[in-house]
Amino acid sequence: QVQVVESGGGSVQAGGSLRLSCAASGRPFSSLSMGWFRQAPGKEREFVAAISWTGVRTSYVDSVKGRFTISRENAKNTVYLQMNSLNPEDSASYYCAVVIGAWRGGSWSTDAVDYWGKGTLVTVSS
């Protein structure tokens, strides 16, 4: 069992920045691929970004490339999502995702995720 806890959500004006954090415990963190999804009201949960257990490999949805950066600190069992140049379309609940096993690359499906956090809300006003 893996426990996943997000933090760092909040409200920001368009053009602003936020950093989300996700702490995972219960398994060796360095063996976990980590990712972020988001879900806006009335919409399906969508993949945002992912990072391999080494931190060397990353993947992003096209809409956030160049604005969001995913990173991890294995010594702190934590993964981050730095979000810059936010716009109202980025408003959503953001969920940390854990995948056990080999790095999948590309865009993750929700079916591929083994564990989820409860989410943290990001609101971007225009």
Instruction: Going residue by residue through the chain, which has 126 residues, state the pLDDT in tens, using 9 for 90 and above.
Output: 999 999 999 999 999 999 999 999 998 888 899 999 999 999 999 999 999 999 999 999 999 999 999 999 999 999 999 999 999 999 999 999 999 977 888 899 999 999 999 999 999 999
- Label residues 33-70 b or e (16+ Cβ within 10 Å = b): bbbbbbeeeeeebebbbbbbbeeeeebbbeebeeebbb
pLDDT reported for residue 63 = 97
pLDDT at 41: 94
For position 105, what pLDDT does the model report? 83
Long-range pairs for 65-74: beta carbons < 8 A, 24 or more residues apart: 70/34, 70/35, 70/36, 72/34, 74/29, 74/30
HSE of 61 in the Cβ direction (CA atoms, 13 Å)? Answer: 14
Contact 122, 17 (CB under 8 A): no
pLDDT score of 31:
86
Characterise 66 by phi-psi region: left (phi > 0), alpha (psi -120 to 50), beta (else): left
